[in-house]
């Protein structure tokens, strides 16, 4: 039950953000190799928000794992995240 509360907290926070803000949040995680349960809820809620908006996240998420190896930008024409570098 507690896990759902953490996820919901992040989901509500991300729902109030504009796409450029979500991209900034994503890019702030690039290179961060630390891992905690809280980060898992944060990262999943972030990807879920992109997907809720219909944004293609296949450059960073395969349905199982999220990669923060490279920063991303939002390609408005194709409605997708693309990696930079």
Digit-coded pLDDT (tens) for 54-76: 999 999 999 999 999 999 999 99
pTM of the model: 0.91
What is the CB neighbour count within 10 angstroms for residue 8?
12
List, in sequence order, every residue forming a beta bridge with 72; answer none if it has no partner.
83
Q: Residues of the chain with pLDDT > 90: what percent? A: 81
- Cα 5 from Cα 22, distance rounded (Å): 20
Asked whether the beta carbons of 73 and 41 are under 8 A apart, the reply is: no
């Amino acid at each position: 039950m507690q896990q759902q509360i953490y996820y919901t907290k992040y989901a509500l926070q991300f729902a109030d953000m504009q796409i450029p803000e979500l991209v900034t949040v994503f890019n702030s995680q690039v290179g961060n190799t630390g891992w905690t349960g809280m980060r898992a809820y944060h990262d999943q809620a972030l990807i879920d928000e992109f997907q809720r908006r219909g944004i293609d996240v296949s450059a960073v998420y395969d349905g199982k794992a999220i990669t923060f190896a490279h920063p991303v930008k939002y390609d408005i024409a194709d409605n997708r995240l693309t990696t930079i570098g």
